[in-house]
Amino acid sequence: MDASRTLVTGVEILNNPRLNKGTGFTEAERDALKLRGLVPPRVFTQEAQQQRILENYGRASSDIERYIFLTSLQDRNEKLFYRTILDHLDEMVPIIYTPTVGEACKQFDRIFRRSRGLYVTANDQGRVAEILGNWPERDVKVIVVTDGERILGLGDLGANGMGIPIGKLSLYTVCAGIDPKHCLPIMLDVGTENDDMLNDPLYLGLNQHRVRGDGYDALVEELILSIQDLYPDAIIQFEDFANRNAIRLLEKYRDRARCFNDDIQGTAAVSLAGVYSAARIQGVPITDQKLLFLGAGSAATGIADLLVAAMVKEGISADDARRRCWLVDSKGLVVKSRDGLQSHKIPYAHDHEFLPDLLAAVNGLRPTILIGVSGQSGAFTQPVLEAMANINERPVIFALSNPTSKAECTAEQAYRRTNGTAVFAGGSPFAPVEFDGRTFIPGQGNNTYIFPGVGLGVLATGADRITDDMFLAAARALADHVSESHLATGRIFPPLEEIRDVSAAVAAGVVNVARQQSAQAPTTPEQMRALMYVPDYSRSN
């Protein structure tokens, strides 16, 4: 909203990050809005203001200091914040989200400056709607909610996990142009099992162990129903819930609410897009691939489920497709003969001799693609990577665990230990690697390529449910955006500076799936781009 179109004037405008332009207010605006004398006299363009921002940003000595600096900018001048991020995507997206957001969450109670979002706690049962009603915006369209139990690969960070929904919603705006006034981060604080936090006098969250069972479920139910009542158009994104809740909450609510789980479905779609691109490099169709996952939680089975759906669309049976997906968990290869398997692993428990570890599984199964979603730093050891290279002319290695400290291997390790033959993607960004006279540009299997565009497409259609077919379409649209020149450098995802074009294409793919629900919905990437929030002072959005 343009400040000149509101009744708010003076200091109220300067204290409202959505309206504040700081020294960017024109002479006419300063008179009309009673700002004369409240800001320094010289008028600066947004571009000139950005120069000052970049100069101060450059003085920061660490990524966490850069994160704090950008968060402070977001808290005082939203348009300048988003304009700066959009103009410096490669450099700044890793600061406002992965990998830096992991460190920010660990230190959240130390670096806390200004509250952003809503905290719904276990003590609020029976009054959740009242708390949601305290949010100042009525037209909420995207909600990201976490309970903080499995923040990235860092584990239970309790209320410190609020940094995740805040960061995710910033990416909705940066990548898909969702107006920030439509975004609501929610921390569902039911306690924590992190003893360091429980014993920390500065911890911001409930100082108690986690509520589980019926009490937990009742609070989630109340939250979902209250959101549907107060914000009926909102998309609900579940984020960083532990496996014990992630899968079952998605299954419980996916047919009752406009919701999805990014760790399951977003990760699956970006991984499928990477597989499509890697298959082009290999010259091997996806129906002939054999995939081995290190990690057997919701991310692994979510990727496997979507891969199976994609293979079925390519013409093979679901049973044959599942037999191309294998899991290794903390006990070894997931096979039918193992007792006590969790229900989500059973579809991928095949007839095979038990193999005790990842290296044995690689040698025994001879996979074409190795995917890490384990949170185990360095789990793709030199023998594992060398074995993949011995088996495959172009081994595909996806080390998807976040943050960087939890990655199964680095890009340099993948390239060097496969003698430059690996097709690599990480969950976090890695710098280009020089090896044997070649420059390799590692891909980043970042959900940022998927969830913002999915959200934009769902909002454009008014679809009341978010389906797996939408994520299939999103993966295909992302893969189609990867050019032959990208593949030639080993890049299996497009450059981040193309993210708004990618999100527009993803949104158009989602619309084509959901079109029957809204025949008037825009259907092309160009139409999707026209819907996007542009963070310029000259724009009234």
Tell me, yes or no, if 203 is annotated catalytic. no
**206 phi, psi to nearest 5 deg:** -60, 130
CA distance linking residue 434 with residue 436, whole number of Å: 7
Burial label, 314 (beta-carbon count in 10 A; 0-12, 13-18, 19+): exposed
Beta strands in 15-133 (DSSP E): 118-121
Query: Which amino acid appears at position 386 of this protein?
Result: E
CA distance linking residue 259 with residue 237, whole number of Å: 6
Tell me, yes or no, if 231 is annotated catalytic. no
Neighbouring CB atoms inside 10 A of 374's CB total 25
Burial label, 514 (beta-carbon count in 10 A; 0-12, 13-18, 19+): buried
Neighbouring CB atoms inside 10 A of 196's CB total 10
Query: Which amino acid appears at position 328 of this protein?
Result: V
DSSP secondary structure of 474-514? HHHHHHHT--HHHHHTT--S--GGGHHHHHHHHHHHHHHHH
Give kind and range of the element (H or E) at residue 305.
helix 298-313
Token pair for 244? 């014990």
CA distance linking residue 66 with residue 87, whole number of Å: 16
Query: Who's near 516: CB < 8 A, 6+ residues apart?
Result: none
Backbone angle region of 37, left / alpha / beta, with phi > 0 → left and psi within -120 to 50 → alpha:
left
Of 67, 82, 97, 216, the active-site residue reads 97
Which of 305, 375, 386 has its CA nearest to residue 343? 305
Of 79, 106, 141, 168, the active-site residue reads 168
The SS3 assignment for 328 reads strand
Torsion angle defined by CA atoms of residues 497, 164, 329 and 281, in that order, rounded to the nearest 10 degrees: -10
Beta strands in 229-349 (DSSP E): 235-238, 259-261, 291-294, 325-329, 332-333
Beta strands in 384-432 (DSSP E): 396-399, 423-426
Active-site residue set: 97, 168
